[in-house]
Copies of this chain bind each other. A is one copy, B any other.
Amino acid sequence: MDAKNQAKYEARAKIIKAMAHPTRLFIVDELARSGRRCVCELTEMVGVDMSTVSRHLAMLKNAGIVEDEKRGAQVYYSLRVQCVLDFFECVESVMKCNLKDQQKLLVS
């Protein structure tokens, strides 16, 4: 793999990596469901320190997955690209496929 390709796949991996954490997945899922949430709301839902949630959101923003909008004292986050939901769909089908194979093993 040459340097150019290396850089290309590193850039892609960076974006995917931003999704590869349970808390951030939850946040993305919640934003997809509700459209928009402020940090304090997400903090309560997730149940960790607000500074931690803020960091997770900064990662998602840095990757270009979410965007923020200041409204008074609150900062509201929302999805910047809708297609991230395809991620979930695909992950679900992989999991279903894994489950099916495990059942096959049990039967035989």
Docked-complex contact B90 and A81, CB < 8 angstroms: yes
A86 at the interface (CB under 8 A from B): yes
Contact A15-B91, Cβ < 8 Å, known A9-B23, A20-B20, A47-B1? yes
Query: In the assembly, what is the distance between CA of A91 and CA of B94, in Å?
Result: 19
Give the oligomeric copy count: 2
A13 at the interface (CB under 8 A from B): yes
In the assembled complex, the CB of A81 is this many whole angstroms from the nearest CB of chain B, namely 5
Docked-complex contact A25 and B13, CB < 8 angstroms: yes
- Which A residues lie at the B interface, using CB under 8 A? 1, 5-6, 9-13, 15-17, 19-23, 25-26, 29, 45-47, 63-65, 80-81, 83-84, 86-91, 93-95, 97-98, 101
Docked-complex contact A86 and B86, CB < 8 angstroms: yes
Query: In the assembly, what is the distance between CA of A25 and CA of B9, in Å?
Result: 6
Q: Which of A19, A29, A63, A88 has the most B CB atoms < 10 Å from its CB?
A: A19
Closest residue of B by beta carbon distance from A83: B90
Q: Which 6 A-B pairs have the closest CB atoms?
A: A9-B22, A83-B90, A17-B20, A64-B98, A86-B86, A16-B20
